[in-house]
Homo-oligomer: A and B are copies of this chain.
Amino acid sequence: MAELAQLIDSEVFLAYATYTTIVLLKMMLMSVITAYFRITTKSFSNPEDTATFGKGENAKKFLRTDPNVERVRRSHLNDLENIVPFIGIGLLYALSGPALSTALLHFRIFLGARIFHTIAYLTPLPQPSRGLSWAAGYAVTISMAYRLLTTGLHL
């Protein structure tokens, strides 16, 4: 396990592991927020989920969409669409030997941008708050991909 120990002890990889774990936990929080809004607004997609709130016709009225639930779900999907590229490209970037300070700059901006994106989406803050935070995370991922594709390629 010597190699694994050294791999995980590299500071850049450790930083990648830390930020990836935190940003994934943030994304997982969206499931809990969705459940919270579904229960407080009594808005469900599945008939079996409404059984607690009533029977028969009375339960059917809870099969509805609520604007707040839909907003959280869009925010969750946006996380998936942006965090998946960050994790995949970030892993390869972390293994490509960047300077620790440069890597940390990328990871910190991404995490901050995604946290701010969620706040801007759920509050909601007026545009372009959400747009700019999305763009910041997007730019970080493009920057890591650029380094990867310019330092080594095997097509």
Contact = CB atoms under 8 A, between A and B. Distances in A.
Interface of A: 1, 3-8, 10-11, 13-15, 17-18, 20-22, 24-25, 27-28, 30-31, 45-49, 51-52, 70-71, 74, 76-77, 80-85, 87-89, 91-92, 95-97, 104, 121, 124-127, 130, 134, 138, 141-142, 145, 148-149, 152-155
B85 A18 contact: no
A48 B123 CA distance: 11
Contact of A138 (B3, B28, B89, B148): B28
Contacts of A77: 77
Nearest to A125: B48
Nearest to A25: B145
Copies of the chain in the assembly: 3
A13 B4 contact: yes
Contact of A154 (B15, B31, B89): B15
B127 A48 contact: yes
Nearest to A79: B81
A10 B21 contact: no
A82 to B, nearest CB: 8
